[in-house]
Structure 1
Amino acid sequence: MKLLHIDSSVLGPHSVSRQVSAAIVDRLRKATPHLDVSYRDLTLTPLAHLSGSHLAAGQGAEPEAALQQDLAAGHAVLEEFLAADIVVLGAPMYNFTIPSQLKAWIDRILVAGKTFKYGAQGVEGLAGNKRVIVAISRGGFYGAGTPAAVGEHLETYLRWVFGFIGVTNPEFISADGIGVGPEHREKAVADALRAAGSLNAA
């Protein structure tokens, strides 16, 4: 069984989402014999954001020489995702949504004919055989029923993205309120790590 571990926080060792995603992977590694884990840090090896040249190449145009390496990197990211049985994703909230590095990765895995297709009945996701677990961290409180819920475009966006490609039940472990103060941060991290440690391994 293959697990793909992705981190997208720019904060390195100070990142809460990295801490929680690592705890999730540790839990699954201990519970699953012979788990094959691969890791990608989207801040150390960032993907370029999509350009007109990327889209033209996707439509069959001869890519510019300068684009060849990035297209190869995008293909490798897609194949890495397709090969994974489990995806563990560390995703902090930056200005109410995902980091731009994570958006660049998503742009490389949402590929018609690979992870979804259009048909007579509409869109069909092709990646529904994967388990996706997301560790999210948010500076404030954005849960359902909170005054700031309308501004939450991290979890809601990722639920839609993965649902679009067939993953209808992504799992989320949240550390909320980490920017409110030291006590809130400590409790949020402890609760998230506890949830990671008791995660269902099946």
Structure 2
Amino acid sequence: MATLLKIDVSPRGDSSISRQLGSRFATEWQSNHVGGEIVTRDLATTKIPYVDLPWIAGAFSAPDQHTAEHKAALKISDELIGELLSADEVLITTPMYNFSTPAILKAWIDHIVRLNKTFSFGPEGLKGLAAGKKVTIIIASGSEYTAGSPLESYNIEGPYFRVIFGFIGITDLTIVHAGGTNKVAQGEVTAPVFVEKFIHEVDLAAAK
């Protein structure tokens, strides 16, 4: 049975463009994977602490050396990594903040990119331990940052995702960039009309 890990980031709830497109993806994915399971992690309602000294000390030491403080610091990391490694596919729906990823999503990434859990170093060098998964990322942004647009070079978020997921062994990555949400905010177009522009691209990603 296939499993999709769906990670939502935007604090806007149902009015979020990225979440609306993510819901469409989930519906299409479910129809293509009858009996499949969708596990949802809402980062807007999950308290994910930033990496601190106890976390670092625990992550870079052997489990049999972990103190109670280390174990407590790594608890959420272990949980998030477990969700990632148990999934066949991952969907992330997120806004773009200041040309990059929201802090809460970066915190999630910092917890799941962990030595001997999702990557390792050995005699042959770096090895990603999360290979074989598909990742789709739906990014909603106020302006347009797609290839050929005037602001293309400002898009730090998309390239960052390719680097960080590639680092842990995931290279099958699709990005759907829903740029131009300012038009919705300014009343130039309704949210349903705006979302409709990206439905085909989302459906193709869900069918991969």
TM-score normalised by L of structure 1: 0.89
> Counterpart of 1:74?
77
Change (3 A) 1:59 1:193: same
One-letter amino acid of the counterpart of residue 55, structure 1? I
Change (3 A) 1:165 1:198: same
1:124 to 104, 127, 130: 127
Distance of 1:200 and 1:59 partners within structure 2? 37
Change (3 A) 1:188 1:122: farther
Q: Which runs of 5+ in 2 are unaligned?
A: none
> Counterpart of 2:200?
194
> Counterpart of 2:32?
31
**CA RMSD in angstroms, aligned pairs only:** 2.1
CA deviation string 1:155-180 (max 9, x = no partner): 11111111111121301122111114
Distance of 1:89 and 1:115 partners within structure 2? 18
Q: Which runs of 5+ in 1 are unaligned?
A: none
Change (3 A) 1:64 1:114: closer
Q: How does 1:47-62 map to 2 (within 5 A)?
A: 47-60=48-61, 62=66
SS at match of 1:170: strand
Q: Does 1:157 align with 2:163?
A: no
Sequence identity percentage? 31
Deviation at 1:81, TM superposition (A): 0.4
> Counterpart of 2:3?
2
Distance of 1:200 and 1:40 partners within structure 2? 18
One-letter amino acid of the counterpart of residue 78, structure 2? H
Distance of 2:153 and 2:36 partners within structure 1? 38
Deviation at 1:144, TM superposition (A): 2.2
One-letter amino acid of the counterpart of residue 198, structure 2? A
> Counterpart of 2:104?
101
Distance of 1:199 and 1:143 partners within structure 2? 17
Distance of 1:123 and 1:188 partners within structure 2? 42
TM-score normalised by L of structure 2: 0.87
Q: Is residue 7–residue 41 contact of structure 1 (8 Å, CA) maintained in 2? A: yes
CA deviation string 1:87-145 (max 9, x = no partner): 01112101111111101110111112221222344422221210111111111011223
Change (3 A) 1:59 1:47: same
Distance of 2:124 and 2:190 partners within structure 1? 46
Aligned pair count reads: 201
One-letter amino acid of the counterpart of residue 195, structure 2? V
Change (3 A) 1:117 1:184: farther
Q: Is residue 32–residue 201 contact of structure 1 (8 Å, CA) maintained in 2? A: no
Change (3 A) 1:172 1:56: same
Deviation at 1:183, TM superposition (A): 3.7
Distance of 1:177 and 1:63 partners within structure 2? 48
